[in-house]
Amino acid sequence: MNSAVVGLRVAGLVFGIVGVGHLLRLLMGLEITAAGHPVPMWLSVLGLLFAGGMSLWMFKLACRVSKVAVKQTLQG
């Protein structure tokens, strides 16, 4: 396993954790304030979609890079 695959998997894991955090906020209805202003719930919806999408993309890309590395190893 090369460093690119490890980096993509770590990035996918980090994005996944952020996405789960947004999902928990939505399910539990947690109120968050930043600088005395309430953060709207729709922002967590966007955060969940973005972080979840990035996580899936990173894991898919890691699989693709891994398969290419295996093919190159088998060829020569």
- What's the residue count for the chain? 76
What pTM value is reported for the model? 0.86
- Tens of pLDDT, residue by residue over 3-56, are 899 999 999 999 999 999 999 999 999 999 999 999 999 999 999 999 999 999
- Tell me how many domains the chain contains: 1
- Find out whether 52 and 19 touch, Cβ atoms under 8 Å: yes
What's the rounded Cα separation, in Å, for the pair 14 and 2? 19
- Find out whether 26 and 48 touch, Cβ atoms under 8 Å: yes
- Range of 69's domain? 3-75
What's the rounded Cα separation, in Å, for the pair 13 and 54? 10
